[in-house]
Chain A
Amino acid sequence: MESLEHTRFITLNYPNLQGLRTIPLGLLLMGLTIWANRQHGPASDLTLPITATLVCLAIYVFISQYYDRTYGKVKRIITHSELLISASGAILALTAFILDTRNVIEVSLLGLVFALAFVFTGFWYWRPVKLLLSINVIIALVLAVFSIFPLTGEQEWWRLIGCKSSLLAFTFLYGLSCLICGVIAHVYFVRSLPKTQESL
Chain B
Amino acid sequence: MNRVFIEIASLDKLIHEPARLSLMTALASCKSADFLALKRLTGLTAGNLSIHLSKLEEAGLIKLRKQFIEKKPNTQVQITEKGRQLIEDHWQQLEALYRNAQEWLPD
Interface string of A47-88 (1 = CB under 8 A from B): 000000000000000000000000111111100000000000
Interface size counted on chain B using CB atoms at 8 A: 30
Query: Binding site of B, secondary structure by majority: helix, strand, loop or mixed?
Result: helix
Give the distance in Å from the alpha carbon of A7 to the alpha carbon of B91 in the complex. Answer: 13
A-B CB contacts (within 8 Å), total count: 86
Q: When the two chains form their complex, are residues A76 and B22 in contact, meaning their CB atoms are under 8 A apart? A: no
Give the distance in Å from the alpha carbon of A11 to the alpha carbon of B27 in the complex. Answer: 8
- Residues from chain A with a CB closer than 8 A to the CB of B33 are 11, 14, 72-75
Q: When the two chains form their complex, are residues B31 and A75 in contact, meaning their CB atoms are under 8 A apart? A: yes
Q: When the two chains form their complex, are residues A71 and B25 in contact, meaning their CB atoms are under 8 A apart? A: no
Give the distance in Å from the alpha carbon of A10 to the alpha carbon of B31 in the complex. Answer: 14
Name the interface size band of chain A: 20 to 34
Q: When the two chains form their complex, are residues A196 and B44 in contact, meaning their CB atoms are under 8 A apart? A: yes
A4 an interface residue at 8 Å Cβ cutoff? yes
Give the distance in Å from the alpha carbon of A193 to the alpha carbon of B22 in the complex. Answer: 13
Give the distance in Å from the alpha carbon of A77 to the alpha carbon of B36 in the complex. Answer: 19
| Distance between A83 CB and nearest chain B CB, rounded to angstroms | 14
Q: When the two chains form their complex, are residues A71 and B26 in contact, meaning their CB atoms are under 8 A apart? A: no
Q: When the two chains form their complex, are residues A71 and B43 in contact, meaning their CB atoms are under 8 A apart? A: no
A198 an interface residue at 8 Å Cβ cutoff? yes
Q: When the two chains form their complex, are residues B19 and A12 in contact, meaning their CB atoms are under 8 A apart? A: no
A-B contact pairs, 7 of them (CB 8 A): A7-B25, A11-B26, A75-B32, A77-B30, A196-B39, A200-B18, A200-B43
Q: Give the top 6 A-B pairs by smallest Cβ distance, nearest first.
A: A72-B37, A72-B36, A194-B43, A75-B31, A11-B29, A200-B19
